[in-house]
Structure 1
Amino acid sequence: MLFRPLLALVLAFCLTFVSAPSSVSAAITDGAGDSDFVVGNERSNARFGNIVNTGRANDCPTIAAGSSGSISIGSGDTLSDICLQPTEVLVKVAPTKRKKADFAKTKIISPSNNTTIEQVFGDISSSGAFAEKGGIDFQLITVLAPNGEEVPFVFSAKDMQVDSNSSSISVGTEFKGTTRTPSYRTSNFLDPKSRALTTGVDYAQGLVALGGDDKDLQTENVKRYIDGKGQITLSVDSVDAGSNEFAGTFVALQTADTDMGSKEARDLKISGVLYGRKG
């Protein structure tokens, strides 16, 4: 009787491998190259075993470097699968109290493999301007500045409005415009002293001890939902006219989180990889 549970466990373990789909087994054993994952419209054919725990799921698709051609765009057309993968984040900080603040390199500490905006889509106007309509259009990221400060921010392509002043996409085309950066915190988020915009306590300090008012603490006690405005440039350096795909780089200027108005927003410069396609 004592061996029956053990026998059942061993049998179940064996059946798990016997009944596993052949595609999964192939994914584990097949050493396919990177192209199975990163090449444009072949991304959906990527094998699980080549991606899991590698960080490649955070990579934008690519097309052959140096590909040239032209993709016509106009009123009624759409751009889709737009992907923006940050590769470098600079934050404006002062090295010392006596030196002027300047952009400095940072290290992405959270999340390390989930920073990419992707599947963004939108419409093209008659002038060649693009208006974002949806997609996975923001990511919450925290970087570590050289002075040891952790800087959280919302990397955003929300409400992106960019214009190329052209009727086609080719090598050298640039889309320039603006984005909206939503607040890193929502109205129900409680800070360490249980203060929030719509919940929690209104005032965490003793009124008598503070003399009834304190301007230095007012910004921490009075929470505000603050949206930011960003600027972005999309630069195209490769075009595949046959598949209507394009790739290149981007540079975005925006602000970091203010903790709902309790601290000054730091300026950020985010650059990285661009991918998209027409239709």
Structure 2
Amino acid sequence: MKYRSLMTFFLVLCLGILTACSSSPKLEGSLSYDDIKGSGLANSCPQLPETSMDSINIGADRSYQLKALCLQPQTFAVRRSALMKRQESKFVPSKLLTRESSTLDQISGSLKIGPDGNLTFVEQGGFDFQPITVQLPDGERVPLLFTVKGLVAKNQDAAASLSPSTRLVGTFEVPPYRTSSFIDPKGRGLTMGYDSAVGLPVQADREDFSRQNNKAFDIGQGHISLQVNRVNRATGEIAGWFESEQPSDSDFGSKEPMAVEIRGQFYGRIESEIA
């Protein structure tokens, strides 16, 4: 009886060890498409360990590229108008509705010392926009085009290096949320559809009528701050936090855009161009 109980114990122990080994997670570098699909990992930016506290010198006589720039938003806030006249408008936390497709990735651009002596980054291309929608606590939904198109950012301390204290600040363009061929539910559009959805507008609503029917492809402007807090000189990698503020969608000028504040983390890689 004791022998049978002992054999049962060892059998359970061996099965437990085999199960634990077979269910061990794979390394990130060995993940397949099926492992990543639906997991949300594709929406995450790479990160550096907290021990990466080096600095990368940027020579004034050389050209550099900032590649694989990735911006992963983590919090959203929308500025709401004050209910009372004496109150100030404030940013209200909002909820992301676009699931796991909000990250900007593979953005690249030039990085060099400008004529004014400041380190300057000029964005040149990549997956630099992402249409997303956020929801306010009262249920209102705010669409926006999260982007850094045409970003020109400069170092604030006039240092010719990238270190954990470097902060790049600049502005960028914000195109409309939709393309010019979009047609609204009443058949109106910028390049297609009807010119008007009603016959004779009421005199009191003439201004509102004009805004709803005269579509305009307006380009907004946003600004962003990239705070570097980790640098790996051996690999040229940098990482840190960003804070961006940009306008939301205006439906081709038919409504006033809202200011949206976006915060998150970023990652990039510095490469020197060979002359």
Indicate whether the TM-score tops 0.5: yes
Partner AA of 1:238 in structure 2: R
Q: Percent identity?
A: 36
The correspondence of residues 60-79 of structure 1 with structure 2, limited to 5 A, is 60-74=45-59, 75-79=62-66
Residue 242 (structure 1) shift: 1.1
Q: Distance in 1 between matches of 2:259 and 2:106?
A: 26
Structure 1: gaps of 5 or more residues: 1-28
Structure 1 residues 126 and 119: CA distance shift in structure 2, 3 A: same
TM-score, L = length of structure 1: 0.81
Corresponding position of 1:122:
109
Q: Distance in 1 between matches of 2:153 and 2:90?
A: 27
User: 2:82 and 2:204 mapped to 1: Cα distance?
Assistant: 37
1:24 is matched with none
> 1:97 deviation in Å?
5.5
Judge conservation of contact 1:245–1:276 (CA < 8 Å) in 2.
yes
Instruction: Encode CA deviations 1:57-100: one digit per residue, 9 max, x unaligned.
Output: 10001111231101122441111000000000110014645654
CA contact (8 A) 1:66 1:237 kept: no
The answer to whether structure 1 residue 228 and structure 2 residue 212 are counterparts is no
Unaligned 5+ residue runs, structure 2? 1-21
Comparing 164-173 with 259-268, greater Cα deviation is found at 164-173
> Take 2:189 and 2:159, find their aligned partners in 1: how far apart are those partners?
46
Amino acid at match of 2:174: T
Aligned equivalent of 2:257? 265
Q: Is the 8 A contact 1:93 1:102 kept in 2?
A: yes
TM-score normalised by L of structure 2? 0.82
Are 1:56 and 2:41 an aligned pair?
yes
2: distance between equivalents of 1:195 and 1:31?
55
Q: 1:243 corresponds to which residue?
A: 235
Matched, 1:170 2:172: no
Task: Answer yes or no: is 1:141 the counterpart of 2:129.
Answer: no
Per the alignment, residue 96 of structure 2 pairs with 108
Secondary structure of the 1:272 match is strand
SS in 2 for 1:214: helix
Q: What residue identity is the alignment partner of 1:264?
A: E
Looking at CA atoms only, which structure, 1 or 2, has the larger radius of gyration? 2
Equivalents in 1 of 2:54, 2:187: separation in Å? 57
Q: Which moved more, 1:98-107 or 1:129-138?
A: 98-107
Q: Deviations 1:220-252 (Å, cap 9, x if unpaired)?
A: 100000111111000011111111101100000
CA displacement at 1:194 relative to structure 2: 0.6
Q: Which of the numbers 67, 70, 75 marks the counterpart of 1:80?
A: 67
Instruction: Quote the residue 2:210 is aligned against.
Output: 218
Q: CA offsets, 1:195-231, max 9 Å, x none?
A: 0111100011112x53598112110100000111111
TM-aligned CA deviation for residue 31 of structure 1: 3.5
